[in-house]
Amino acid sequence: MLLKKYTAVFNVTFKESIAYRFDTLTSALFSFLKIYLAYLLWQAIFTGKETIGGYTFPMMLTYYILITFITRIARSENIIWETAEEVRTGGYTKYITRPIRHFSYCLARSLSKGAFSFLVDTIAFILWIIIFRSYFFIPENPVNVLYFILFSFLGLFTLMQVHYLIALISFKTVDIAGPYFFFSNFIEFMSGSFIPLLLLPALVQKIISFTPFYYILYYPVSLYLGRELDRMGQALIVIVGWNLIFALYRTFLYKRMISLYEGVGA
């Protein structure tokens, strides 16, 4: 019965996503610009060089292709805006009066949006590979692809928990935009979305490797590229540990924040 409720949320959200399929497809195709800019930038940087930080040019371009793909299917940032809107208008009252857990509801919606984006963005992903087929890196060991998939799922769930914690700030503040854009840019940098973390000073890399952000984007792609395979055990302990911490903290924070909810507009 419990699973049935959230399955219904998943199905309704999926149908909702289909209604906006053209927007999703268009944004997926336009994400090609980010990859093309990375291609132009790194092609210029690699002029006269075989490797940079242990990456060849095909590995570097593949890094940005995979980073873009994972980012595209990470749809949990919607939790922030939806929660903030419902708290502001009083719509959040429905989670209090009905037998449904808000976090589980958000998880079901994120999974549904991510599933739809995965279907659409896979088309774009195949196009990217076709266009850059001469530079797309294919690992020698196919098992690396499985490692990449496993840690990508863990990373996406970690990101979802982080977004949920940010969403809870909306109970305290009227406008969530400021905190969102600050944390969004911070997470993008710390997760290696801007540049591969291996290009940072060794001490900075070491510090970031103890944070959950290291394992959201950078580490899964590193596994695909055949790097850092020897520290998978440590990586698994760190990311699972952080998720347990986030789970405990969001439970505590939710109880604190829900006491501030006044239901204005409900």
> Residues 26-75: pLDDT tens digits?
777 777 788 888 999 999 999 888 899 889 999 999 999 999 989 888 87
Longest dimension (CA), the chain: 65
Q: What's the whole-number mean pLDDT along residues 83-88?
A: 86
Cα–Cα distance for residue pair 90/84, rounded to 1 Å: 10
* 82 vs 20, residue with greater confidence: 82
CB atoms within 10 A of CB 260: 10
Q: pLDDT (tens digit, 9 = 90+) per residue, 248-261?
A: 999 999 888 888 77
Q: What is the pLDDT of residue 83?
A: 87
Residues 184 and 76: beta-carbon distance below 8 Å: no
Q: What is the model's pTM?
A: 0.89
Q: What is the pLDDT of residue 266?
A: 52
- Closest by alpha carbon to 12, among 141, 144, 105? 105
Cα–Cα distance for residue pair 266/264, rounded to 1 Å: 6
Q: What's the whole-number mean pLDDT along residues 7-16?
A: 83
Q: What is the pLDDT of residue 242?
A: 96
Q: What is the pLDDT of residue 264?
A: 61
Q: What is the pLDDT of residue 2?
A: 62
Please determine, for residue 120, whether its predicted confidence score (pLDDT) is greater than 90.
no
Q: What is the pLDDT of residue 92?
A: 84
Residue whose token pair is 């939790």: 79
Q: pLDDT (tens digit, 9 = 90+) per residue, 173-220?
A: 877 888 888 888 899 999 998 889 999 999 999 999 999 999 999 999
pLDDT band of 24, cuts 50, 70, 90:
low
Cα–Cα distance for residue pair 102/254, rounded to 1 Å: 10
Ranges 24-28, 170-174, 221-225: which has the least confidence: 24-28
Cα–Cα distance for residue pair 122/128, rounded to 1 Å: 10
Q: What is the pLDDT of residue 235?
A: 93
Buried b (16+ CB within 10 A) or exposed e, 219-231: bbbbbbbebbeee
Most confident listed range (2-11, 120-129, 135-144) = 135-144
Work out the mean pLDDT of the chain and round it to a whole number.
87
Most confident listed range (73-82, 102-111, 128-137, 238-247) = 238-247
Cα–Cα distance for residue pair 188/198, rounded to 1 Å: 15
* 38 vs 119, residue with greater confidence: 38
DSSP conformation letters of 125-194: HHHHHHHTTTT----SSTHHHHHHHHHHHHHHHHHHHHHHHHHGGGGT-S--HHHHHHHHHHHHHHTTSS
Mapped onto helix, strand or coil, the DSSP state of residue 204 is helix
